[in-house]
Structure 1
Amino acid sequence: MPHSTDAAADRAPLTFGQRVRRARERNGQTRAVVGGLVGRSMEWVKAIETGRLGVPRLPLLLRLANVLQVDDLSDLVGEDNRLSTASFVKSAHNGLPAVREALTTYRFRSVDEEPESVDVLLPRVRSTWDLWHAAGKHRTRVSAVLPDLLDELQHAARTLEGNDRRRALIALAETYHLAQLYLSFQPAPELVMLTGDRSMAAAQDADSPKAIAAAAWYMNHVFRDAGERHEARVDLAMKAADLLRPDEDPEDLARWGLLHLAAALSFAKVGRRGDAERFWDRADDAARRLGDGYTHPYLIFGRGMVDAYAITMYADLVKGSRAVEAAGRVDLAPMPSATRRSFHLVEMARAYSTQGEHLTVMHLLRRAFEASEETVRFNIFARSAVAELAEASTPLVREDAEDLSRRLRLPAVA
């Protein structure tokens, strides 16, 4: 009989507090880090995990899910409470079904069918990157051309030989990066992992250190979002960096700096400030050596990106005042990507939210929306912050948040 009682206990559903603790420990986060990022104390997190406090109201629950890197709120509150999950945490773009089909359906084309020339395909890849970085509805534009571009590049990589095949594989890896970016912040984590893996496979098949480095940068984001071990993320970035020749080639130096930036962000996620700053300093040195006027054409590495990611680093380290200081030093105007400018404006808003400066948060979120509305529409922090501020006591903040909530088409908070 005792055994059956133990078995029943093992089958008992986890409580909300147990689920929060599981997610926090999976990420390697301390209670102090989670509390600081949510805007609450370490004791508040402890009270949640031990059951002394119940499930918070939706806006705060959304903030907690974002900090814990939880895609679906049912992972925290259980299957019986799926009501508000996907609509708030991750929204599906209209083009997702077509992109999903392109990634999961195998098109068998005859090897006798002549592939499109690599010299024609490469400019198509470049123009698709331009669509991603341009102002306006970048996800909508990219999703319209991505399926056919993937099909043509996959066929070229299968049928071409020699250097043309290698060039096609490098272009295919870059296009998988675009697919991965398109899929980010959408309810398709399995496709994000799939595109990350395929981009790395194509880069390795091409035997291209530059392509491997770019794939490692994007895989680091995949691993962070999936809660993969911090050590594995840093190891991947540094192994890819070791393949490069940063002292001989500006392209290699940009990618080398990008990978050290990835390591800095990874250390920040687990609260290791000294290591985070050390790796950020290396990325900063790479940007300095490349010069203030340098920006990589599609990876966007350069002075502006390194400075802007200092905001993210300090926000993740729960150093709100340092994050705000970093935000005050950043000049986003020269950055040739509306998408990235919008993302970094959202990160500025996240920094100011740690200081309780709600008017500034709303101002920055509105600026981010004007720069790239689909960046804000699919950003987890932006969605949760707008939902929370729509209940603010200050009328001006509440009115602005309600207006932006309507523009983002967020469902009403019960």
Structure 2
Amino acid sequence: MPEHTDTPGPNAMFGQNVQRVRERNGQTRAVVGGLIGRSAEWVKAIEKGRLGVPRLPLLLRLADVLGLRDLAELTGDERLTAVSYSKAAHTALPAVKEALTTYQFNGTDEEPETVDSLRARVRQAWQLWHGIGEHRTNVAAVLPDLLADLRHAARVHEGVGRRRVLVALAETYHLAQLYLSFQPVPELVMLTGDRAMTAAQDADSPRAIAVAAWYMNHVFRDAGERHEARVDLAMKAADLIRQGDTPEDLARRGLLQLAASLSYAKIGRKGDAERFWDQAESTAKRLGSGYAHPYLIFGQGMVDAYAITMNADLVRSGAAVESAEAVDVTPMPSATRRSFHMIESARAYSMQREPVAVVHLLKKAHEESPETARFNIFARSAVADLAETGPATVRGDARFLRQEMGLSVAA
């Protein structure tokens, strides 16, 4: 007679892990299912062990929706790491990593660069990020020296000069965080977000703290942190500049309202997501229809474009497509943001199962900013899927785009 055991089978264990992570995130089955193109009943069947572990492309989407980097947290297989399959590494990553993890303990006798000159270099670096061409490659070329010079200046300058340098250093850490995003180095993304916030606080600058909170919000969202912590961070930072009516203050306040909206959308709280999006829209209107912040890019166009993301995360595919059809991203003064919002539009059409529109938009996004498309997780997975399993009408274009994006057949 076989020995009785209460050890759950692999399907049951996988399902229990999915349910545990989903509930930890505060996500409903409908939200998780909708974001990966499946029903709430499909998620329930997974969680109850009635369905087995999905194939790798769908498993990667599930891990991304649940905010997981390691597939092992779902499967128990330590050999499977989500970032190994879904994220690419830029060629300059080792140099940027070295710049972030190299520490200088002397050299304060050397005369530092002037504060105005350093701040001008930071502005130029942001222009490279938003400009046409290989924006990651261009920014990676200037980041190491810029970080080293700003750190040196922060050690040497005092008083107001030091605080201005620290604000510039925080802005440069934001650039580093953006460069590192969608690469298999989550620990460095967290590091740069934390360093930016520390520099902003040391500068005693409410505006710098507000921007750092916007970027930390992205870090927390990617790490699967609880939405309450993200909203609390955004609202506390917004409270620091609640009395300001200048464009600089309004742009930052609007960013944090968007942060709260996106956080609530991630867990399916439609009313709260729309409430904060409405606040962001009201803030953008105060700035005027043609306004866009020089490097944060906040303005009416950005708010309208984020309606696509909000509705897609709320699993309202029809509303997401309507938002995509209503917004014109061409006036937005950032090739990277134009490309990103085109990719989000493609994600909306993907939820509607319209592969022709998906491929068309991803091709446009790649033409607009090749490295934005190449490193975006949705773009990579959608192109890989459509190139192999898409309808015959789009498979050829998807395979061409796969080649243009430098993806392997198994990407």
**Shared topology, TM-score over 0.5?**
yes
Q: Is residue 284–residue 306 contact of structure 1 (8 Å, CA) maintained in 2? A: yes
For residues 113-144 of structure 1, the C-alpha deviation after alignment (integer angstroms, 9 at most, x for no partner) is 21111111011000000000011111111111
With 63-72 and 249-258 compared, the bigger mean Cα shift is at 63-72
Gaps of 5+ in 1: none
Gaps of 5+ in 2: none
Of 270, 275, 278, the residue aligned with 2:272 is 275
1:303 maps to 300
1:232 maps to 229
TM-fit CA distance, 1:85: 4.1
**Structure 1 residue 405 and structure 2 residue 396: aligned?**
no
For residues 296-338 of structure 1, the C-alpha deviation after alignment (integer angstroms, 9 at most, x for no partner) is 0000000110000000000000000011111111110110000
Q: Is residue 244–residue 250 contact of structure 2 (8 Å, CA) maintained in 1? A: yes
1:166 maps to 163
TM-fit CA distance, 1:172: 0.2
1:41 maps to 39
Q: 1:14 to 1:193 in 2, by over 3 A?
A: farther
1:335 maps to 332
For residues 333-369 of structure 1, the C-alpha deviation after alignment (integer angstroms, 9 at most, x for no partner) is 1100000100100000011111111100110111011
TM-score (norm 2): 0.94
Distance in 2 (alpha carbons) for counterparts of 1:386 and 1:87: 17
Of 52, 66, 69, the residue aligned with 2:67 is 69
For residues 73-97 of structure 1, the C-alpha deviation after alignment (integer angstroms, 9 at most, x for no partner) is 3433333553x84453111111111
Distance in 2 (alpha carbons) for counterparts of 1:411 and 1:325: 33
Q: 1:247 to 1:211 in 2, by over 3 A?
A: closer
2:178 maps to 181
**Equivalence map 1:210-229=2 (5 Å):** 210-229=207-226
1:319 maps to 316
Distance in 2 (alpha carbons) for counterparts of 1:380 and 1:344: 14
Distance in 2 (alpha carbons) for counterparts of 1:391 and 1:193: 35
Q: 1:184 to 1:392 in 2, by over 3 A?
A: same
Q: Is residue 133–residue 340 contact of structure 1 (8 Å, CA) maintained in 2? A: yes
- Residue 242 of structure 1 aligns with an amino acid whose one-letter code is D
2:366 maps to 369
2:13 maps to 15
Q: Is residue 12–residue 47 contact of structure 2 (8 Å, CA) maintained in 1? A: no
- Percent of aligned pairs sharing the same letter: 69
**Equivalence map 1:100-139=2 (5 Å):** 100-139=97-136
Q: Is residue 35–residue 65 contact of structure 2 (8 Å, CA) maintained in 1? A: yes
Give the RMSD, CA atoms, in angstroms.
2.0
For residues 39-63 of structure 1, the C-alpha deviation after alignment (integer angstroms, 9 at most, x for no partner) is 1111111111222111222222222
With 22-31 and 196-205 compared, the bigger mean Cα shift is at 22-31
SS at match of 1:153: helix
Q: Is residue 133–residue 338 contact of structure 1 (8 Å, CA) maintained in 2? A: yes
Q: How many residues align?
A: 407
SS at match of 2:240: coil
Q: 1:303 to 1:173 in 2, by over 3 A?
A: same
Of 377, 380, 383, the residue aligned with 2:380 is 383
Distance in 1 (alpha carbons) for counterparts of 2:195 and 2:79: 34
Q: 1:14 to 1:195 in 2, by over 3 A?
A: farther
Of 257, 260, 265, the residue aligned with 1:263 is 260
Q: Is residue 12–residue 48 contact of structure 2 (8 Å, CA) maintained in 1? A: no
With 64-73 and 166-175 compared, the bigger mean Cα shift is at 64-73
Distance in 2 (alpha carbons) for counterparts of 1:30 and 1:228: 16
Q: Is residue 342–residue 367 contact of structure 1 (8 Å, CA) maintained in 2? A: yes
Q: Is residue 32–residue 41 contact of structure 1 (8 Å, CA) maintained in 2? A: yes
